[in-house]
Structures are given as C-alpha cells and as structure tokens.
Structure 1
Amino acid sequence: MAIFILFILGLGFYMLSKQGNDTLVESNYYEKGLTYDEEYNALENTFAEHAEPIITVNPNQLILQLKDSANYSLVLMRPSNAKADKKFAGKTIGKNHLILLQRNVTDKGLWLLDLKWESNNKNYQYKKSITL
C-alpha cells in the first residue's frame, strides 16, 4: 500500500514539474485568436489563386518555389520539441522565386511548415506537415 501511495505521489510531482512544457499548445494562442481573420484571408488567397508553393526536399536542401517574387517569413515547427523550431525571413531568390534552406540545420523527422508571404500587395499563407 505504501509503495502504491509513493508511486501516485511521485507521478503527481512529475506531472506538475512538466506543466507548462506542452509543445502542442502555443504560448501566444490568445494573440493568434485575435488575428484569425487575417490568417484565414491569407489562406483563402493562397488556394483561390492557386499559389501553393512547390516543395522539394533533397539530401542537402529544402527548396520552396513561389508563384511570384515575395517577401516571406517561414517557421519550421518540430512537434516533439518546441526548442528545435526554426524561423527564417527574407526575399525570394532568382526568376524562379525560390526559398532555399540548408538541411544541415534541421533534425530528421516530422516538421510543420508555416509559410507566410506578401506578393503583389496581397498576403498569403501555406501550412503543411513535411518529413525531412
């Protein structure tokens, strides 16, 4: 009986120590809720204008090709470890409107890609799960 009580107490202390480290809940969820309409409109622009990026993964690079030249912000989120998230921003490269990322800065496995860009005075957004 005493061992069972110690097990339950230990489990309780463990759960309390892990509280706040949940990577499935974003820390700024309230602020994101306030800007939901902007995000929804950007997602709608992407699909209505068939502006989804072409994603190519090779051993050395992650390549994203956009429809037009754009300023972008890209977040690669690791579902299993929020500390491994990567953020990138910049302008597309060349006449093919490419975003090039080196793969040596990312762990292998599942990543959530969240790409936001502005082109021709319109905002766009694209979200997808990818495996690197």
Structure 2
Amino acid sequence: MNWGTKIIIGMLSFMSFILVLMILMFRSDTDALVENDYYEKGLKYDETYRLKEQVLLDNAKPEVSMAEKSMTIAFQTASRGTIKLVRTADQRQDRCMRFETNEGNKIEIPLTSVPDGQWKLILNWKSRDGKNYLNEQEVIIP
C-alpha cells in the first residue's frame, strides 16, 4: 500500500467520524445548554436583575450553613417565599418548596432525600417590610 492510499483511507475515516457525530447531534432530543423557557426568562431579566441588586443594596444576603443532613438559612428579617434547589447535572432532581421563617428569622431544610453534590440554591423572598429579593448561590451538599 503506497502513501496516497493511506492518505485517502485517513481522510475517509475522518469524514465518516464527522458524519456519525452529525447524525448523533441531529437525533438528540434535548440540549442541556438551552432551557425550555429561555424566551420568557429573557423578557423578565430586568426584573430578576433588580431583585438581585436589591439584595446588595439592602445588605440582605441570607447566611447559609450546612449540617450533617440539613441546611439552615438565616435571614435579616422575617421573610416568606420560595426555595429552589437546582441540580445542574440532572433537571429531574430539582426541588422547589415554600418557606416562612421562624422567630429567629431562620429556616431549616432537611436534606435526607436530596442527593449529595453541587446544587444551585435560588431564594426568592419577600421581607416583613414588603421588599422583594432574589439570591442565587452554589452550595455543596455533603
């Protein structure tokens, strides 16, 4: 076999590899980088940005602490809202729950049914004085 034949075989192998990757890409039903409601989220981005900035302006960022199988979130004032735990690796494991703080402006969330790993914690709450806030942060559940 001469060198010209080897080059042709190499080119055909590479082209078939690219073709197989294209076929797999087009047959895939989901794209992990694109959210289903990205357009609606884009329209509401200004409101989301304003809520995040309100946390910084009022210095109202909640303090998150992890225990063995629970998470404690301490707020500056009495609050109520929603907590969303988002698993970046698997959307089916996402959790969403409502909360209201106790007398010490804290909430405790049991994590017995939550798998270990990295999560995005999204807190959306309204304080006692009527201000709305939104805070997102990464947490690692041991």
Q: TM-score by structure 1 length?
A: 0.86
Matched positions, count: 130
Q: Could you tell me which residue of structure 2 aligns to residue 107 of structure 1?
A: 115
- C-alpha distance in 2 between matches for 1:25 and 1:112: 17
Deviation at 1:8, TM superposition (A): 4.2
Q: Percent identity?
A: 28
Q: Which amino acid aligns with 2:87?
A: R
Q: Which has the larger radius of gyration?
A: 2
Deviation at 1:69, TM superposition (A): 1.2
- C-alpha distance in 1 between matches for 2:23 and 2:92: 23
Q: Secondary structure at the match of 2:139?
A: strand
- C-alpha distance in 2 between matches for 1:14 and 1:86: 31
- C-alpha distance in 1 between matches for 2:18 and 2:77: 58
Q: Could you tell me which residue of structure 1 aligns to residue 3 of structure 2?
A: none
Task: Output the aligned Cα RMSD.
Answer: 1.9
Structure 2 unaligned segments of length 5 or more: list them: 1-8
- C-alpha distance in 2 between matches for 1:16 and 1:100: 45
The list of structure 1 runs, each at least 4 consecutive aligned residues, that deviate by more than 4 angstroms after superposition, is 1-9
Q: Could you tell me which residue of structure 2 aligns to residue 126 of structure 1?
A: 135
- C-alpha distance in 1 between matches for 2:87 and 2:119: 5
